[in-house]
Amino acid sequence: MVEPVLKAVFPVAGLGTRFLPATKALPKEMLTVVDKPLIQYAVEEAREAGIEDFIFVTGAGGELFKSHFGPAAGLEEALRERGNDEALASVLDCLIDEDHMHVTPQSRPLGLGHAVGCARGLVGDAPFAVLLADDIILARPGGLRQMVDAYGETGGNIVALEDVPREMTARYGVMDVEEDLGHMVRARGLVEKPEPKDAPSTLAVIGRYILQPEVFGHLARGEKGAGGEIQLTDAIAATIGQIPLHGIRFEKRYDCGNRLGFIEANIAIALARDDLRDSVRQMLEAYP
C-alpha cells in the first residue's frame, strides 16, 4: 500500500511576462478561461483526485488567492437575497476550508524547483502533488486523478507527459524512456529543456507531478540548472535509482502560459460546455 497523496502545491509566483500588461497587477494564474480563473481549474482537478490540503506558493498578489478561495459573506448574502442560486452555487464552489488552505511566499524568483522547495515545511514528510495552473488538462477522469490511480500501482514519482514536436523540446522537461507501456512510461532519466538534437525523446513533462518528499532534499541544495534556475526536473532526476519515475501520457493539454494556447483553451472549454457550445459554434462561423 502506498501512502496517499493528500497535499498539493500550486506554484503561483511567476512573473507572467508573456501576458503583460494583463499580469502587471494580476497573477497569471488568476487570468480567466471562460468564467473561472486558471487556478480554479487546477484546484478542482486536485480535489477530484482526493487532495485535502492546498498549498499556494505566491509572489506579489498572493492575497488574491486567499480571497478567491475564501468566504465572501457580503456577496453570498446579496446573491441569496436576490435568489440567484446559480451564481451563489458558483461562489460556494470556490471555497477551500480555512484550515486546509495554506499560503506561503516565494521571496525571490529562483525557479520552479525553488518555488516547490518553499512548500517543504507545509508538506512535511509525505508524498505530494504539484500542479502548474497554466497547463489545463481536459481529461475524464481528471489528469491528477489518473495519476493518483497509477500511483496506487507504482508508487514513486509520477509526471504527466505529452508527446510534442521535436523542435519544441527546449521548452520542457523531457523524459529519457526506459520502458514504454503505452499510457504509462518508465523513465531512466529526465532532462530540463534539451535542444531538439540532444533530447532523449519527445515526451515532455506537462504541469502535473506526484512526488516523494525525498525530492525536497535535492531542492534544498539549491543547485542551478537550465536557465540558471533551480529546476524541479533536476531534483526528480536525481532521485531516479532510489525512487522509480513513471510518466502518464495525456493526449491533449492547453498551454495557457502562451497566448495561442490560452485562446485555444477558451474556445475548447466553451465548446465542451452544454450552455455555450451552440452559440460559440455559431459565433465562430462568422470567422471563416
Q: What is the binding site for ligand G1P (CB under 6 A)?
A: 112, 132, 135, 172-173, 192, 204-207, 231-233, 257
- Single-letter code of the amino acid located at 112: L
For ligand G1P, the closer of residues 156 and 173 by Cβ is 173
For ligand G1P, the closer of residues 165 and 288 by Cβ is 165
DSSP conformational letter for 68: H
What are the beta bridge partners of residue 159?
A: 209, 247
For ligand G1P, the closer of residues 96 and 209 by Cβ is 209
Measured CA to CA, the distance from residue 22 to residue 143 in angstroms comes to 28
For ligand G1P, the closer of residues 109 and 152 by Cβ is 109
Contact between 1 and 8 under an 8 Å Cβ cutoff? The reply is no
Residue 75 CB, nearest approach to ligand G1P (Å): 33
Residue 34 CB, nearest approach to ligand G1P (Å): 21
- Single-letter code of the amino acid located at 232: L
- Overall residue count recorded for the chain in this entry: 288
Q: Which residue is nearest to ligand G1P (CB)?
A: 173
Residues 23-32: b if buried by 16+ CB within 10 A, e if exposed: beebbbbbbe
Half-sphere exposure of 85 (CA within 13 A, CB side): 0
For the chain, give the longest Cα–Cα distance: 62
